[in-house]
Amino acid sequence: MVKVMISNVNVHNNPAKFLSNYTFEIKFECLEQLTQELEFKLVYVGDAKEDKQDQVLDVVVIDAVAPGTYKFIFEAPPPDPKKLPNDSDVDVSVILLLALYRNQEFARVGYYVFTEYDDPELRENPPVKVDFEKLNRNIAVDEPRVTTFPIIWDEQQSTDQLVFAELTEEEKKMAEMNDEIEICQSLENVNCTNETPAEPTEPKISNETMESIEPELANDVMESTEPKLTNEEMEATEPKLSNEEMEAAEPKLVKKGAVITTTIQQYLDAETDPEKLVKYCCGLNYKKDQESVEIKANTVYPDWLFGLEKLDKIDIEQLDKNSWEYWTRYNEQGEAYLRVINEKRFPERYIPTWLKELKPLY
C-alpha cells in the first residue's frame, strides 16, 4: 500500500529571471509510520535528448515522519549556465521534482519551463551565444506532469503486494528511453514563441457523450450474468461480516476522477458514517440522493490509469480477485460501476496485463 502521496505543489517566484532561485511549496500526506528518510530532488533538464545535461539543483532530506499532513518550502538555486548547452534552442526546457524513499523514486512532478529575452530587440534577433542574465523564465504551473511508481516501502514487503511487478534493469532502460522520446516529441510539438503559454481550456462533453458513458446495465445482461438463487440460498451464500471485518474491508485509494456509483441501500457507509468514508478514501468527495451515491476522488492517483479512456461496468469481484488495491469495496450484490474519463495518454507499460484483458459486462 502507498505510504506517502504528494497532494499539492505550489510554484512561487514565477515568472522570474532565469538566474533566480526556484521556490516550491510542497504538501504531502503520510498514511503510515515511516522508518527511513524521505528525499526530494529538484532536477533541471538541460537537454531532453541527452540526460548528461541534467542538473540536480538541490536535495531536501526529511526524517522519518508519523502519519499526518506535512508542508515545506523547497528553495533551490538556478541551473549553472556553464553546464547548459549554449548552442541549442533554449525556448523550452523541463524541471522535475522527484520524491524518493529508500533510494526508490515513488513520485515525480514535471513542468515545462518557457524562456525568453526580456528585451524585445533580443527576442527578434537573439544573440548567437545565449545571454542567460537577460533571460526570463515562466513555469507552466497549470500543466504539471504527475507520475507515480510502485516501490517496496518496507523490507518485509514482498513484491507480490505491488500492483505492478518491479521492472528489470533492461525494462527500466527501455522505459527511460521511451520517456526521453516522449519528452523530445512533446518539446518539438510545443509552440516555442516568445508569448506566454495560453491557459488550458476545459474539454467540452456533449449530452450525447455523457449519456453514452452512463454506467447502466441492460436487463438482458443482468439476467444472463446474475445467478438465480432462492431466499434461503441467498442467506446461505451472503457472508456475515463482523464490525472488525467491515473496517478491514474499507475502500482504499482510487484514481483522481474515478467515479463509483451504487445504490444507497447497498452502500450503507455513505449513509451512516460519511466521515469514516472520507478518512479511508483519503480525500474523497461524495454526493447522494434518494436512489444513489456517487463518490469522486480528488486525491493523488496512479498515472498508469491515464491510459484508460473509459472503463465501464466492470465486475468488482473480478477486480478484487486480480489484486487491484485501489478499489476493493463490495456492495451487497457484488457489483459496482467504475467510470474513468480522462483524455490524457500514458505509456502502455503502466497498464497491467490483467486489467487490459478485463471484459465489460455488456
What does the pLDDT look like over 5-16, one tens digit per residue? 999 999 999 999
Q: Which among 45, 116, 39, 122 is positioned nearest to 83, based on CA atoms?
A: 45
* ∠ Cα 14 19 21 (to 5°): 55
User: Which pLDDT does position 279 carry in this prediction?
Assistant: 34
Q: Are residues 156 and 8 both part of a single domain?
A: yes
User: Which pLDDT does position 140 carry in this prediction?
Assistant: 93
Q: Are residues 172 and 257 both part of a single domain?
A: no
Q: Are residues 106 and 174 both part of a single domain?
A: yes
Domain count, the chain: 2
Of 235 and 19, more confident: 19
Q: Residue 46 has what DSSP assignment?
A: S
Residue 163 vs residues 152, 303, 316, 354, 358: alpha-carbon distances, Å: 11, 12, 16, 11, 15
Distance CA 195, CA 116 (A): 8
CA dihedral 232, 236, 237, 239 (to 10 degrees): 130
pLDDT band at residue 106, thresholds of 50, 70 and 90? very high
Whether 195 is covered by a domain: the verdict is no
pLDDT band at residue 38, thresholds of 50, 70 and 90? very high
- The answer to whether the pTM exceeds 0.85 is no
Q: Are residues 224 and 150 both part of a single domain?
A: no
Residues recorded for the chain: 362
Q: Are residues 27 and 150 both part of a single domain?
A: yes
Q: Are residues 178 and 213 both part of a single domain?
A: no
- pLDDT, mean of residues 22-31: 95
| CB-based contacts of 223-229 (< 8 A; 24+ apart in sequence) | 225/361, 226/333
**Average pLDDT for the chain:** 63
Q: Are residues 221 and 323 both part of a single domain?
A: yes
Domain residues for the domain of 291 are 207-356
Whether 63 is covered by a domain: the verdict is yes
Whether 140 is covered by a domain: the verdict is yes
